[in-house]
Structure formats: C-alpha cells, structure tokens
Amino acid sequence: MIGSLGVRIPDDSLRNVPFYPSMGVQAVKKYFTPKWEEFSSHGELEDVLEASLASAIRASTLQMKVLDEFRTRMQEQKKLAAQASKVDKEHQQALEGLKAALENARTAYEQMEADLKESDSNLLNMTKQLDNANAAQKVAAEALEKGWSSRSSDCAQK
C-alpha cells in the first residue's frame, strides 16, 4: 500500500493511529516501536514523518492564528453592535423626545389659536359696543343740541 505522501507502507497499521501535531516524531516512534524497525529500513519514513509533522504544526499554527483573528474580529463586532444598539436607543429616545416636544408645541399653538379667536371675538364685541356708544353719543349730542336750541329760543321769546 502507498500512503498519502507517496511512501510505501506494508500494512494498514498506520491508518488508525490517532495523530496530533503535538505528539512529535518520538511519540510516533514509541507508539510503533514493534513495527518501527520494519519501517525504518525504508529510510524515507522518518523524514516523511518529520516533514508531515512540521507541516501539521504549521497548519495548526496558522489555524490558531486565523481562529485568534476571527475571535478578535468577533469581539470587535460585538462591541460595535453594542455601541450601535446604544446609539440606536439614544436616537430612539431623542426621537420620542422630539415627538413629545412637537405634540406640546402643537397643543400650545392650538391653544394660542383658540385664545386669538376668543380675543378677536372680544375685540369685535368691543368694537360693536364702541360703535353703539358712539351712536348713542351722537344721538345724545343731537338731542342735547336740539334741546339747548329750543330752550334758547324759548328764553329769547320770554
């Protein structure tokens, strides 16, 4: 049988080996002590195992760096999401405050408009009363003048 790296392996004894990069070549040798003498005659096996182990360590290190970067970015995203949520809440509160202020302004405007209509009505009534008073004053002045002139003529006749 030929392994994945192109090295001939006499049987399937290497297929079911739990291999972790942290084990190292010595651990692999120790695990296969009975068969190691048989395989070491190939000469390339130890070099292949060391190269494979180094490659696995580099891949594992790269995976850890990528995972750390991913975690860092996820933490940054969480922070940004929390800040965005906070800003969104603040904007929502400000918007509700503006809505309340607008409603208060609308109510005040409606009250001022009602007061203005009432003032206009009162002013119109006062104007009518003033017109009536002026008319009454004219009538009284005319009556007084007629009464004064008729008295003067009465006095002149006597």
Average model confidence (pLDDT) for the chain? 78
pLDDT at 54: 83
132/123 Cα distance (integer angstroms):
14
26/41 Cα distance (integer angstroms):
17
Helices (H) and strands (E) in the chain, counts: 3, 0
Q: State mean pLDDT over 11-35.
A: 54
In this predicted structure, the answer to whether residue 27 has a pLDDT above a threshold of 70 is: no
Query: Are 39 and 45 within 8 A, CB to CB?
Result: yes
Q: What is the DSSP letter of 41?
A: T
Domain ranges (residues) in the chain = 12-77
In this predicted structure, the answer to whether residue 113 has a pLDDT above a threshold of 80 is: yes
In this predicted structure, the answer to whether residue 132 has a pLDDT above a threshold of 50 is: yes
pLDDT at 7: 45
